[in-house]
A and B are shown apart, each in its own frame.
Chain A
Amino acid sequence: MALSLPVTVLDMPSIPPIDQPPPSPAATFVTGWRAAWTSVFSLVLIGTYVGIGALAHDYGFSLRWALLSTLLVWAGPAQVILLSTLGAGATPLEAALAVGLSGVRLLPMVVSLLALIKRPDTRARDLILPAHLTAVSMWVESLRLLPTLPRAQRLAFANGLGIGFLVAAHGGTLAGFYLAASLPALLTAGLLFLTPVSFLVSAVRNSKLMVDRLALALGLVVGPLLAYRGVGLDLMWTGIIGGSCAYGVHRLRRALR
């Protein structure tokens, strides 16, 4: 480990001193796994997925189906959309369209995450797992934690982090499925509210640069405008318009300086 990064270690998993040999991928994976369980998102995910497990139960899906959807889809809003469209009697095609529209956000998330992880010699097939594990929780925590790690360790750390979160979500799905009948309506509403409130607060925390803060604020304004006007692909346009305007202001400010 030749490079010593000027890292600031704030509530971070311990980073070994420079003179020791670099930790093995397995050890770094475990460090990432531990970071998942000390993150507030492990709690948020358990709660969110208790809600999703209960929803799956109420709509008559099997436990195995619910767990498999957490493993394969691995995106809270998409799973809620899938359950509620299919549960309400929509055709698989309608459900697929609604899920596909909600999944657009994963594309820029995966790109910005992989830009942090990739090295010139990284094989494409090694990127499939971190790409699949990319969800808001994992993305937010990776963008916060990965820059403090040497690049060689980031892939294993991200995999450990994502799998830790995935396991937490499976525990939640399982618990929610069995608790469904005994969950009061108010608690179900509270569990569904975990997604927006945790997404917003953690996105604010991660937005240290002006360009990100502006993008966040613009998304909150543009999103509802497009949705109320019934614009097709409203989420995709929210991202492109909000993100590009924020980026334009960022370039303009730099040019004027």
Chain B
Amino acid sequence: MSSLPGLAPYLVLIAAGFLPNEIWRMLGIVAAHGLDEGSELVVWVRAVATALLAGVVAKIILFPPGGLADVPLAIRLSAMAGGFAAYLLMRRSVLAGVLAGEAVLILGAFWFAG
């Protein structure tokens, strides 16, 4: 690979980023074979996907990446709660939930830092 130094980062991208992620999508095509939206198995699969998504959310909040780690846990949790509350109060608007969560996070972090 040393003869192709310019290509090395792209090979890493494919080996460490693309393939380990894409394999799940391709396995999904295989697993979906013969399944229909009405089947009981799809209800279970959707529940698994939803629980997994919730797990990803919890993990990002508890073990945050990069600059988000500088914001205290209490503020990260309050911002999630604030976003959820705003979503319910603002007639189930996702935009309202996202904006309120962001507002709590940024104001909270600003107040904490200042």
* A residues lining the B interface (CB < 8 Å): 40, 43-44, 51, 55, 61-62, 65, 68-69, 72-75, 77-82, 84, 86, 92-93, 95-97, 99-100, 102-112, 114-116, 118, 124, 127-128, 131-132, 134, 136, 139, 143, 147, 185-190, 192-205, 207, 211-212, 214-220, 222-224, 226-228, 234-236, 238-244, 246-247, 250
- Tell which of B16, B56, B66, B95 touches A82, judged by Cβ atoms closer than 8 Å: B16
B20 located at the interface, meaning its Cβ lies under 8 Å from any Cβ of chain A in the complex: yes
Q: B89 interface residue, CB < 8 Å from A? A: no
Inter-chain contact total with CB atoms closer than 8 Å? 315
21 A-B pairs whose Cβ atoms sit less than 8 Å apart in the complex: A72-B17, A80-B65, A96-B19, A108-B48, A115-B36, A115-B45, A143-B46, A188-B66, A189-B67, A193-B101, A196-B60, A197-B101, A198-B94, A199-B53, A203-B57, A205-B92, A219-B58, A220-B57, A223-B59, A227-B62, A235-B56
A-binding residues in B (CB < 8 A): 9-10, 12-29, 31-32, 35-37, 39, 42-68, 70-71, 76, 79-80, 83-84, 87, 92, 94-95, 97-98, 101-102, 105-106, 109-110, 113
**Residue among B14, B26, B70, B83 making CB contact with A197, cutoff 8 Å:** B83
CB of B82 to closest CB in A, whole Å: 9
B23, B42, B43, B57, most chain A CB atoms within 10 A: B57
Residues in A with CB closer than 8 Å to B102 are: 190, 193-194, 197
Residues of B within 8 A of A217 (CB): 54
| Contact status A197-B79, CB under 8 Å | yes
Would you call B94 and A84 a contact (CB within 8 A)? no
* A40-B94, A102-B56 known; A115+B49 contact, CB < 8 A: no
Given contacts A186-B106, A196-B80, A212-B46, 14 further A-B contacts (CB under 8 A): A65-B9, A65-B10, A72-B14, A73-B18, A84-B66, A102-B21, A189-B67, A205-B94, A215-B48, A219-B50, A219-B54, A236-B52, A239-B48, A242-B51
CB–CB B24/A107 < 8 A: yes
* Cα distance, A74 to B21, chains bound together (Å): 9
A72's closest neighbor in chain B, by CB? Answer: B18
Task: Give the Cβ gap from B34 to chain A, nearest Cβ, in Å.
Answer: 9
List the B side residues contacting A73 at CB < 8 Å: 13, 17-18, 21
If A108-B45, A244-B47 touch, whether A219 touches B52 (CB-CB below 8 Å) is yes
A240 and B87 within 8 A (CB): no
Q: Which listed residue (B28, B36, B37, B95) contacts A106, Cβ 8 A?
A: B28
CB-CB nearest in chain B for A58:
B66
- The verdict on A201 contacting B54 (CB below 8 Å), with A84-B65, A106-B25, A109-B49 known, is no
Given known contacts A99-B17, A131-B28, A193-B79, is B53 in contact with A112 (CB within 8 Å)?
no
Tell me which of B37, B55, B110 contacts A238 (CB under 8 A).
B55
Residues of chain B within 8 A of A107, CB atoms compared:
24-25, 27-28, 31
- The answer to whether A68 touches B98, judged by C-beta atoms less than 8 angstroms apart, is no
- CB neighbours (8 Å) of B97 from chain A are 197, 201
Q: Which residues of B contact A185 (CB under 8 A)?
A: 67, 70
Q: Which residues of A contact B18 (CB under 8 A)?
A: 72-73
A97 touches B20 (CB 8 A): yes
Interface residue from B49, B61, B98 paired with A201 (Cβ < 8 Å): B98
